[in-house]
Amino acid sequence: MERNTTAEPKALMETRLTHQTHRLMTALLAEAAPRPSVPLAALAQLRDFLVAAIRHHHETEDNLLWPRLAEAAPAAARALEELTDEHERLDTALDRLAAVAVDDEDARHALHEAAVAVRDSVLGHLEHEEPILLPALRDHMSPAAWDDFARQVIASTPPVALHLMIGFLDEAGTPEEVELLLGGLPEPAQPLVPAMRQQAHEELRVLRGSAA
């Protein structure tokens, strides 16, 4: 069924796509880690990207987004604090995943176990977060406030395998949604998007065991 996004605020659309990329990337690492056909270097890159992306996402929510929402909707403040508590527990799982040394074939089992723990934590967290966050964004986040937040997020994004985010976004959203989201990238980055997209799609095929 085709998604009607004409009435969806940008804050909801971008949050929905970002959360879906987190579901996709954590599922892929958990699935790819134990497969001998997937190169260790590809697994290590996906792991490093995943840890940096999810940790940065949580930090920007805790430090930038939650204070804005709590000020606009004081009744939501306690629920947002509980989400921060969940972020801290998920950070423990991310720390464990980041600590796996992906340097020989024996690492696959430990990487798989740590990736499954992160995947399950992310899925559980999003099930709790989205019923709280999405209505709050819809009712209390102005377009201008969201754009300001999004600019701060982009400016502070860790430079770790960023091309993979484009690949996951292509899987998470429609072409129109992805074009709108990537339109927020700084002007110097715009000409790089096609090459980053191609690189990401090739590497994701390798991770899925479907490389030509």
pLDDT surpasses 70 at 204 = yes
- Confirm if 26 and 50 have CB atoms less than 8 A apart: yes
Which secondary-structure segment (H or E) carries 42? Answer: helix 40-60
The confidence score (pLDDT) of residue 211 equals: 53
> What is the average pLDDT across 139-159?
92
The confidence score (pLDDT) of residue 2 equals: 42
Q: How remote is the C-alpha of 53 from its chain's centroid?
A: 6
pLDDT surpasses 60 at 150 = yes
Q: What is the pTM of this model?
A: 0.91
What is the tens place of the pLDDT at every residue in 85-99? 888 889 999 999 999
CA-to-CA distance for 46 and 29, rounded, in angstroms?
A: 7
DSSP 8-state class, residue 173: S
The confidence score (pLDDT) of residue 3 equals: 46
What is the tens place of the pLDDT at every residue in 153-201? 999 999 899 999 999 999 999 999 999 999 888 888 889 999 999 999 9
142 backbone φψ class: left, alpha, beta (φ>0; ψ -120 to 50)? beta
Sign of CA dihedral 184, 185, 190, 196: negative
Local confidence band at 4 (pLDDT 50, 70, 90 cut-offs)? very low
CA-to-CA distance for 37 and 45, rounded, in angstroms?
A: 16
pLDDT surpasses 80 at 6 = no
The confidence score (pLDDT) of residue 1 equals: 35
What is the tens place of the pLDDT at every residue in 46-78? 999 999 999 999 999 999 998 998 888 888 888
Strand, coil or helix: 121: helix
Q: What is the mean pLDDT of the chain?
A: 91
CA-to-CA distance for 85 and 106, rounded, in angstroms?
A: 33
- Confirm if 98 and 166 have CB atoms less than 8 A apart: no
